[in-house]
A and B are shown apart, each in its own frame.
Chain A
Amino acid sequence: MTAIGDVKRRRIDELAARAGQVPEGEGGVSLTRSAFRRLRRDPVAIAGAVIVVVFLLVAAFAPWLAPRDPLAQTLLSEIRPGYIPGSREGFPLGVDNLGRDVLSRLIVGSRQSLLIGVVSTLLGAVVGMAIGVLAGALGGWVDSVVMRFVDILLSIPGLLMAISISVLLGQNQYSLVIAIAVTQVPVFARLLRGSMLSQRNSDYALAARALGVRRGRIVFGHVLPNSLSPVIVQATLSLATAIIEAAALSFLGLGDPDLGRPEWGAMLANAQQFLGVRPELAIYPALCIIVVALGFTLLGESLREALDPKFRR
């Protein structure tokens, strides 16, 4: 049965259908290994991976990398209405409107920003996958009911849904994470379900069934691992969206109200007021967001090409 938003859903399903197809002449090499081999030779993938790894390292070692305390209002005394001091000795990127070192805030802020992106994507992926497995493995009426619900979620524009949820849960970092995660759930659910449906009737699943393997084992041991590649690709791409969306929610005043915790989205949102005075204050966090999002996107796109049999030559 078809329904509303068909085109959008067909897209997801098309991606899903490509999961785990073994290309001709490559039957002997495992999917992961051949994909990895392709990734290593792909300059785009390497560029993406380098960006992501660098930022992850910065986030991991932030307290040691940051030259100053991100909260110390060292240069507060020099700030006047309409004037914020620029970069100088010891403050390579200048200070913000409260006299705090921007470089240190960017470095320490990478933790919060990446964490929000990663946690919300993980949460969305896990919940979405659970729903997808349920629908894909059981089929029948469970599938119809669950997917109807997913379709309803899919019919609400993402940002509006995130706004509604943030407003509902109140202004804090957890509601930010949950709001972003919920917008990701339907995509993952539909993707995994479609991918599992296309795998369920494959030869190896049939073989396992003929051998008398229990259903749970077929689902979790055979079908699921083979259905994961579109989900992995989507998760990588979703990381980029999640970080940008978190910034957007911060901008709308729905982000983390704890100003003591530096975060790129909040920094960017805050800097808009001083754009006429010191545009760099907005440009630096924006650049961080853009570069990280770009890194995840490059990685995700090249993963898709590597895992997608259509691109294998």
Chain B
Amino acid sequence: MLRFVVRRLLQLIPILLGLSVLLFAWLRALPGGPAQAALGERATPEAIARYNELFGLDQPIYVQYLRFLGRAVQLDFGNSTRTGRPVTEEFLERMPGTIELTLFAMVFAIGVGIPLGYLAARRHGSWIDSTSVIGSLLGVAIPVFFLAYLLRLVFAVELGWLPGSGRQEVRIDATRVTNFYVLDGVLTGEWDAAWDAFTHLVLPGIALGTIPLAIIVRITRASVLDVVNEDYVRTANAKGLATQTVRRRHILRNALLPVSTTIGLQTGLLLSGAVLTETVFAFGGVGSAIYDAIFGRDYALLQGFVLLLAIMYVLVNLLVDISYGLLDPRVRVS
């Protein structure tokens, strides 16, 4: 198992190198290049020339790349054009929010999705089945930001049940420990702060969780339907095992194998793809920062965030691969 993990980790290297080349090239290819990106659109030609000299942008391209790589390894992606703060600092401050949101969305998607998919398969052909199939098709077809706006309009603006923007009420003076607001509240015993941060997760979390929910329902349903007809299930039934045991130990356990990988892949996507939802809810995580960066032409931040998110995405995928190896021993041998 250890060799398997180490091998996978080593295979990360070419992918990360490739990513760094792509993003390095991206910043060079932008109109005005990195100097413009760092100094903003109103930079004078003299300032740009000085910047180029200062940061070695007049050097040969491979030297520049190696320097970029050297700094990237130390997680130094320069400073944000808008705030002037280091990109990595901004990222670390905002990522906890996105992680909290992703966790909420995935718990919602899994908690609703697996039971619903299982039920749909057990009652194959019933109204529950057809409703969940149609619902899951719709869930994938709805533009996420539209759903987010609808939820916000109905439950935050019209009904006022839940907060519709931000991560926490401004008036709450919460102590920051980890920047995971809910966790901070729990750690410091500020329960109202924790609860408030939690309620801020509900609407964006549901909006973000819809697509994974739809996919999990479909995969669970298809997978349970597949497994129910397997010989080992018939054998288990024939030898007189209790229905509950057959369902839990034989059907669910095998059916959830493909579901688990879906969950992993979707988690990776959500961590990186919360741009739309976070923007609608002005959530203040990584996603809304990307939106702000697009509008503010803050290319340094955009480049750093995309690279860091891609790294996270790759790492989550790596975890998925490893957990798949744990769950399904056959994979490890190949």
Contacts and interface: CB of A to CB of B under 8 A. Distances in A.
A149 B302 CA distance: 22
A2 B334 contact: yes
B287 to A, nearest CB: 10
Interface of B: 8, 11-12, 14-15, 18-19, 22-23, 26, 29-31, 137-138, 140-146, 149, 153, 157, 261, 264-265, 268-269, 272-273, 275-276, 279-280, 290-291, 294-295, 299, 302, 306, 309-310, 313-314, 317-318, 320-321, 324, 331, 334
Contacts of B157: 276
Contacts of A152: 14-15, 18-19, 22
Contacts of B143: 244, 247-248, 251, 268, 286, 289-290
Interface of A: 2-8, 11, 148-149, 151-152, 155-160, 163-164, 167-168, 170, 240, 244, 247-248, 251-254, 268, 272, 275-276, 279, 282, 286, 289-291, 293-294, 297-298
Given A251-B145, A294-B141, A155 B269 contact: no
Given A275-B153, A289-B143, A297-B140, A4 B273 contact: no
Give me the 10 closest cross-chain CB pairs, A-B, nearest first: A152-B18, A293-B141, A157-B272, A6-B321, A286-B146, A294-B141, A3-B11, A5-B317, A7-B261, A290-B141
28 contacts: A4-B12, A5-B317, A5-B321, A7-B265, A7-B321, A11-B261, A155-B310, A155-B313, A157-B313, A159-B273, A160-B272, A163-B302, A168-B26, A168-B29, A244-B141, A251-B145, A251-B276, A252-B279, A253-B294, A253-B295, A254-B294, A272-B280, A286-B143, A286-B146, A289-B146, A293-B141, A297-B140, A298-B137
Contacts of A247: 143, 146
Contacts of B29: 168
- Interface SS of chain A: helix, strand, loop or mixed? helix
A148 B291 CA distance: 30
Nearest to B313: A157
Contacts of B264: 7
Contacts of A159: 272-273, 275-276
Given A7-B320, A252-B294, A167 B138 contact: no
A157 B294 contact: no
Contact of A252 (B19, B276, B309): B276
A4 to B, nearest CB: 5
Contacts of B15: 3-5, 151-152, 155
Contacts of A254: 294
B149 A272 contact: yes
A40 to B, nearest CB: 21
Given A4-B321, A5-B317, A163 B294 contact: yes
A148 B294 contact: no
A294 B138 contact: yes
Contacts of B331: 6
A278 B157 CA distance: 14
Contacts of B276: 159, 248, 251-252
A44 B276 CA distance: 31
Contacts of A168: 26, 29-30
Nearest to B22: A152
Contacts of A11: 261
Contact of A160 (B18, B261, B309, B314): B309
A293 B142 CA distance: 8
